[in-house]
């Protein structure tokens, strides 16, 4: 089975394949590049959420880990919104 953008596989078919016994085959043939979208809450939590996600995935660089610590400190210093 070939699963590529050129194969024209649709979302429904892709999800069906991932839910089936063929998921390992699909996963082994895909070159995964995942993008995340974080909607910025008016309190500015998108930065924190995106850095936490990178950290949880083990993909955060040293600079990003340090930035997450700084962001968390700043968020803890802010007064609680009413």
The predicted-structure confidence for 5-62, as pLDDT tens digits, reads as follows 444 555 666 666 656 666 666 666 667 676 777 777 777 788 888 899 889 888 899 9
pLDDT at 14: 61
SS (H, E, C) 12-73: HHHHHHHHCCCHHHHHHHCCCCCCCCCCCCCCCHHHHHHHHHHHHCCCCCHHHHHHHHHHHH
Q: Which of 56, 59, 55, 38 is nearest to 47 (CA)?
A: 38
CA angle 79, 80, 82 (to 5 degrees): 120
* Statement: residue 67 has pLDDT above 60: yes
**pLDDT band at 69, cuts 50/70/90?**
very high
pLDDT at 59: 87
The pTM of the whole model exceeds 0.85: no
């Amino acid at each position: 089975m070939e699963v590529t953008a050129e194969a024209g596989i649709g979302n429904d078919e892709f999800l069906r394949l991932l839910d089936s016994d063929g998921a390992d085959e699909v996963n082994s043939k895909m070159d995964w590049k995942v993008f995340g979208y974080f909607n910025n809450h008016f309190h500015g939590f998108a930065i924190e959420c995106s850095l936490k996600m990178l950290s949880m995935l083990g993909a955060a660089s040293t600079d990003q880990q340090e930035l997450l610590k700084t962001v968390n400190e700043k968020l803890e210093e802010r007064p609680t919104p009413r």
